[in-house]
């Protein structure tokens, strides 16, 4: 047996100091709820204001999210810069009671939401500035008027529409999101007649393809009902100048041809965490394929941009996708439009084969 290791007094002091340093540096943790949240009514608008969480000193807050809802109105989230402590929401319905919560985000994720506050917007004929930071992206639809809503169809689409067409002529990336609620009615063959003509064409050609291809149907449905899209060609009909990666659909929006690629953000099993790293890997893979197909598409089918539609199983998946997107470099995102559709209700057929 060897001799026991001799510990000098200096080594013992250094070891103790190291332990003290570790103890003195608390690990980053999820932020607590923002404080002093208030909602102040204005003309057709409500301003929500708050103070930073007390736990912010442990890890820097990088953004906030304001959640809004009202009776008969689907919940909607609005992202706010960490530099701001307020958000004004315009074009609200006078006399309706709106509820709001605020949550903070740091490197660990989203913290607890604040207690809900309520306010009722006042009636006025005067327009108001639109709220900054709407997670729907694309900025103010302009004119102080309510943005157009989605056409009727299978499932309820919430949030503003008509946002993609103005972005197609810009050499920049765009991020939009919306929600599609199936409520208590899972899609089946008997519901095909409720799809748009383009959706029916996709479903007829892909009906044996299971959940993966059904997600393409509803990705197109959102673009058709909310963005005025029309189907031009299915994946097998698009012409390319050479073999390689292909895009899922060719569509027209606002008089311009767009390629449409579809993917899903979902966990297996469904209740397991979904990280930003997983989202980034999914996006990087899809964006690489998008760039290749855009380079190889034949002139007769060439599109001005591609839209990557991500069908997100929950808010957790949508948040991870948006965080992953914002963390990618400009060259990877190229000039793609990212369109995140968070699904609610009986949406399992889009993600899980029966």
Helix, strand, coil share of the chain (percent; to 5):
30, 30, 40
CA 224, 230, 235, 241 torsion-angle sign: negative
- Structure tokens of 345? 């209700």
**Token pair for residue 62?**
């990088």
**Rounded Cα–Cα distance for residues 237 and 345 (Å):** 33
Domains defined for the chain, CATH in brackets: 35-119 (2.60.40.10), 156-350 (no CATH)
The residue among 248, 251, 205, 207 whose CA lies nearest residue 229 is 251
The per-residue pLDDT for 337 is 95
Q: Which residues in the chain show pLDDT less than 50?
A: 1-7, 18-25, 56, 125-147, 207-208
Whole-number pLDDT of residue 130: 36
pLDDT at 264: 95
Tens digits of residue pLDDT in 48-63:
999 888 754 557 888 8
List of residues 6+ apart from 62 with CB closer than 8 A? 82, 105, 106, 107
Pairing label, strands 305-312, 256-265: parallel
Which pLDDT score, from 0 to 100, does residue 317 have? 92
Helix, coil or strand: residue 348: helix
pLDDT at residue 299, as a whole number:
97
Per-residue pLDDT, 139:
34
Mean pLDDT of the chain: 82
């Amino acid at each position: 047996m060897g001799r026991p290791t001799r510990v000098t007094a200096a080594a013992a002091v250094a070891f103790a100091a190291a332990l003290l340093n570790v103890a003195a540096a608390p690990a980053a943790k999820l932020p607590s709820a923002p404080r002093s949240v208030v909602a102040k009514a204005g003309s057709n608008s409500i301003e929500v204001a708050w103070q930073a969480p007390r736990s912010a000193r442990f890890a820097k807050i990088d953004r906030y999210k304001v959640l809004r809802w009202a009776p008969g109105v689907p919940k909607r989230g609005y992202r706010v810069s960490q530099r701001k402590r307020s958000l004004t929401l315009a074009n609200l319905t006078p006399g309706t009671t709106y509820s709001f919560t605020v949550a903070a985000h740091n490197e660990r994720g989203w913290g607890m939401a604040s207690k809900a506050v309520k306010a009722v917007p006042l009636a006025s004929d005067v327009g108001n500035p639109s709220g900054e930071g709407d997670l729907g992206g694309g900025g103010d639809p302009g004119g102080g008027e309510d943005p157009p809503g989605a056409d009727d169809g299978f499932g309820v689409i919430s949030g503003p529409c008509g946002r993609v067409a103005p972005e197609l002529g810009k050499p920049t990336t765009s991020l939009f999101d919306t929600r599609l609620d199936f409520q208590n009615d899972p899609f089946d063959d008997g519901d095909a007649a409720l799809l748009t003509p383009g959706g029916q064409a996709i479903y007829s050609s892909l009906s044996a393809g299971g959940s993966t291809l059904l997600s393409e149907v509803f990705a197109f449905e959102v673009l058709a009902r909310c963005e005025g899209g029309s189907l031009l060609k299915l994946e097998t009909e698009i012409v390319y100048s050479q073999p390689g990666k292909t895009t899922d659909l060719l569509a027209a929006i606002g008089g311009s041809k767009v390629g449409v690629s579809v993917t899903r953000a979902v966990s297996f099993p469904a209740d397991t965490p979904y990280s930003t790293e997983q989202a980034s890997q999914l996006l990087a893979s899809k964006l690489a394929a998008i760039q290749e197909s855009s380079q190889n598409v034949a002139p007769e089918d060439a599109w001005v941009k591609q839209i990557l539609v991500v069908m997100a199983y929950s808010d957790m998946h949508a948040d991870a996708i948006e965080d992953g997107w914002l963390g990618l470099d400009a060259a990877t995102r190229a000039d793609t439009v990212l369109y995140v559709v968070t699904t609610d209700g009986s949406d399992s057929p889009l993600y899980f084969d029966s």
